[in-house]
């Protein structure tokens, strides 16, 4: 499997990189230079019309996905790693609660506007 991570340093994309590294998945970085407005380019807006990184493209499925929480959940399901099995309902519930707390609350409060 191979992924492309559209990223920017010191940004939400870092957690996706950490997950990819931890999983050991093959990926390459495409830096979106937000200081130069690359996140508002027509090419990037085709990937994410909201003009935000991270975006993950999964070359094995053709899926292109934005939103950090969704990308992390997609990766864990696609790779079968980093999360409790779907059949382990109690642990899975705790995992999802933590993921969405980090994504919706903590990350939203720490969000950087470029
Ligand atoms: N809800 C998005 C937020 C991602 C986000 O905040 N990205 C920032 C960089 S860390 C961004 O792209 N900002 C561009 C802008 O504000 O125009 C997610 O969870 O992935």
Domain parsing of the chain, residue ranges? 2-110
Q: Each residue of 69-89: pLDDT tens digit? A: 999 999 999 999 999 998 999
Q: Does the pLDDT at position 1 exceed 70?
A: no
Q: What is the mean pLDDT of residues 9-27?
A: 92
Choose the CATH number for 2-110 among 3.40.1410.10, 3.40.50.720, 3.40.30.10, 3.40.470.10.
Answer: 3.40.30.10
Instruction: Measure 49 CA to ligand 1 centroid, in angstroms.
Output: 12
Q: Does the pLDDT at position 106 exceed 70?
A: yes
C-alpha to C-alpha distance for 109 and 74, rounded to whole angstroms: 23
Which atom of ligand 1 is nearest to 107's Cα?
19
Per-residue confidence (pLDDT) for residue 11, from 0 to 100: 86
Average per-residue pLDDT in the chain?
A: 93
Q: Each residue of 39-70: pLDDT tens digit? A: 999 999 999 999 999 999 999 999 999 999 99
The pTM assigned to this predicted structure is 0.92
Q: Take atom 11 of ligand 1 and give the residue whose Cα is closest.
A: 52
Q: Does the pLDDT at position 24 exceed 90?
A: yes
Which atom of ligand 1 is nearest to 10's Cα?
10
């Amino acid at each position: 499997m191979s992924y492309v991570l559209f990223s920017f340093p010191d940004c939400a994309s870092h957690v996706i990189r950490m997950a990819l590294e931890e999983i050991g998945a093959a990926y390459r970085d495409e830096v979106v230079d937000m200081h130069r407005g690359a996140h508002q380019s027509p090419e990037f807006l085709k990937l994410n019309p909201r003009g935000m990184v991270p975006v993950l493209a999964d070359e094995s499925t053709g899926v292109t996905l934005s939103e950090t929480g969704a990308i992390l959940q997609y990766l864990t399901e696609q790779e079968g790693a980093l999360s409790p099995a779907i059949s382990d309902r109690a642990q899975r519930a705790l995992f999802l609660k933590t993921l969405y707390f980090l994504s919706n609350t903590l990350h939203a409060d720490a969000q950087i506007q470029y």
